[in-house]
Amino acid sequence: MEFILENWPIIVAVIAVVAVAVVAVARFVGLPTAEQLAKVREWLLWAVTEAEKDLGGGTGKLKLRQVYDLFVTRFPWLAKLVSFELFSAMVDDALEEMREMLDTNEAAKAFVEGKS
């Protein structure tokens, strides 16, 4: 009982964090599959853009590895369901979308190239 009295702010904070996480997961799982995939694809576009910015051109396997590591960290439960081959195909799609975006959006191109 003394432990609870001494650490009640920490206990309340942990309960609040867990509750927020549960609500976020419940909302995501409650989305239809198409919407879930759309969210993952949006995230993949961001991840491949960051990898392009960090590693530059000609580093395809390194970029794939970086994006996969980020994916496993961000979506651990989904990483268990998606094969690496399917993930790689999704990354290829995101890369195509990123290339189109870089061709048409000067701000995105400046971001990736590190220009202000």
CB atoms within 10 A of CB 70: 17
- Tell me if 62 sits within 8 A of 55, measured CB to CB: yes
Q: Which pLDDT does position 115 carry in this prediction? A: 66
Question: What pLDDT does 31 receive?
Answer: 64
Residue with tokens 């969210």: 39
- pLDDT by residue (tens digit) across 84-100? 888 899 999 998 998 88
Locus of tokens 């890369």: 95
What are 14-66's pLDDT values in tens digits? 999 999 999 888 887 776 678 888 888 899 999 998 888 888 777 778 888 89
Torsion of CA 20, 21, 27, 28, to 10 degrees: 150
